[in-house]
Structure 1
Amino acid sequence: MSSPIKNVAVVGGSGNLGPAVVNELVDAGFEVTVLTRGSSTSTFPAGVASKAVDYTSVESLTSALQGQDAVVSIIASVAVAGQKPLVDAAVAAGVRRIIPSEFGINTRFLGKEPIGAILQGKIQTLNYIHEKSKQNPSFTWTGISTGLFFDWGLEHGSIGLNKDTKTATIYDSGDEPYQASNLPHIGKAIAAVLKNLEKTVNRYISIASFNPTQNQVLEIVEKITGTKWTVNKLPASEQQQIGVEKLSKGDYSAFSNFLRKRIFEDGAGLAVAGPDNALDLLGLEGEDLEESLRTWLAE
């Protein structure tokens, strides 16, 4: 790589992950421009530019990406299949690095699992980026798997805890470690990728703030609150069945059921500890699980 990345365009900067990523990129010293739909009323921090675009138009996107060194896509899973014009525009505008919307589970080895049907947009987009990169070596990419959005999941229930009722849902034994990352930590990882271009060129990496088990999380919240929580135990396999039934009816909330089965099932083996966790590569450290839980409980 020649010169460092300076100008970064963010797509999807107002979603669940977007604000944390924008803030961390700004803090890391990048000049950030957020691409928005023309109808968007979202606001962004001082010093962050915004440009209204037509996401279906390569011409509109190419114009907006002029002068941008990198593009970070944080488009939600339901919209990722529409990223092809963004990729074509990035190539046309001379963008040097794209980080596609891969945040979440690693999509590179889903096999024939039902969850793969929902994530085809991500899979096909990264395949398309890979082909474009082979055709144009100056156009590079980095995929980032983050596991569960931990702090967001605590607030929205996907971790299985309800602090108001002090109840916990535990799937299978609850002793399977799983990959999880807090939103600001994901933003720091993205910034670190853009500062470590050679180390991360055309590479799929996985990161985690920590790799807890469901029982470890429950033990910590019980210690902090000084209260035994009510525990509901469920088989992870049942979540797969529920998801298949939902998906057969066109209900894409099946993703949550497939996700629970995939990561919480005994023997899943999806934690990314040690050399599998790219934090060392990026010059980052893991985070404190108990501190994250204390912050959530205090909110």
Structure 2
Amino acid sequence: MASAAVAEQRKIIDAAAKAGVKRFLPSEYGTNTANAEILKVSKFSASKADVTEYLKQTNATNPGLTWTSVIVGPFFDWNIKSGSLGFGISSGTATIFDGGDKRFSTTNLATIGRAVASVLAHPAETANKHVYVSSFNTTQNEILSSLEKATQKTWTIKQRTTKEAMATGAEKLASGDRSGFYDMVLGITYGDGYGTDFAKDTTDGLSNELLALPKEELDVVIKEIVEGKRP
């Protein structure tokens, strides 16, 4: 679902329940919406969490319709290419938040697709729960080191705080500037307390092994991105 239409999923859920659909995967595929702190600062994440609550209510009265919320963190290869994670390949500049050593989970697009397919191949194990997957558990500084290795040059570094990013994002969104969404995502991804290290910050941990997801290497993926070998 498009970002602005997340709440409209309720209509589709109602239709799915009436039609006898067995599994509904809501429009998640991002931040850890089971984390209470995220819901306090991000209305978009709160809207997603509301949909999950609606699915829980629907399942209580119609057990035939189960659900799985697939949580993946930022789309790694897509966001590195676009610069949305703070790394500009063409300019050789990086914005590093809070020193750059906070670990977070992030997933490549193809791996997200494999995860969704595998969820449907493991219906019992993935029913009515959040499922966490990740290509990498990494840091900004590890990504920067890999990018410098792949581009064979020293990058220019800008320093920023997640606190400032969150404040700027909230101010922009309040004024109708949707670019504030990206500031909020950066603040959540690189900030403390938002449950972004899935292996450490979640009760069930990662489901990579259950879903038979391939192991991936950061340097290999970064090199492919820099060389234009990633779609």
Would you call these one fold, judging by a TM-score over 0.5?
yes
- Distance in 2 separating the partners of 1:251 and 1:286: 38
Greater relative contact order, per chain length (Cα 8 Å cut-off, separation 6+): 2
- Distance in 2 separating the partners of 1:113 and 1:214: 25
Picking from 241, 258, 265, the partner of 2:191 is: 265
Name the counterpart of 1:107.
33
- Distance in 2 separating the partners of 1:106 and 1:100: 13
Aligned residues: 224
- What SS does the corresponding residue of 1:205 show, helix, strand or coil? strand
- Distance in 1 separating the partners of 2:192 and 2:17: 43
Q: Residue type matched to 2:213 in 1?
A: L
Give the alignment's TM-score, normalised by structure 2: 0.91
Q: Could you tell me how far 1:277 is from its partner in structure 2? A: 1.1
Name the counterpart of 2:6.
80
Name the counterpart of 2:62.
136
Residue 278 of structure 1 pairs with residue 207 of structure 2: yes
Between 1:260-269 and 1:137-146, the stretch displaced more is 260-269
Name the counterpart of 1:146.
72
CA RMSD across the alignment: 1.6
Residue 242 of structure 1 pairs with residue 168 of structure 2: yes
Unaligned residue ranges in structure 2 (runs of 5+) = none
The higher radius of gyration belongs to: 1
Between 1:161-170 and 1:191-200, the stretch displaced more is 161-170
Asked whether the 8 Å contact 2:32–2:73 carries over to 1, the reply is yes
- What SS does the corresponding residue of 1:192 show, helix, strand or coil? helix
Give the alignment's TM-score, normalised by structure 1: 0.71
Q: Could you tell me how far 1:127 is from its partner in structure 2? A: 1.0
Name the counterpart of 1:232.
158
- List, as ranges, runs of 4+ consecutive aligned residues in structure 1 with deviation greater than 3 Å: 266-269
Question: How far does the alpha carbon of each residue in 1:23-48 deviate from its partner, in whole angstroms, 9 at most, with x for none?
Answer: xxxxxxxxxxxxxxxxxxxxxxxxxx
Asked whether the 8 Å contact 1:91–1:139 carries over to 2, the reply is yes
Asked whether the 8 Å contact 1:149–1:183 carries over to 2, the reply is yes
Between 1:246-255 and 1:263-272, the stretch displaced more is 263-272
Asked whether the 8 Å contact 2:32–2:194 carries over to 1, the reply is no
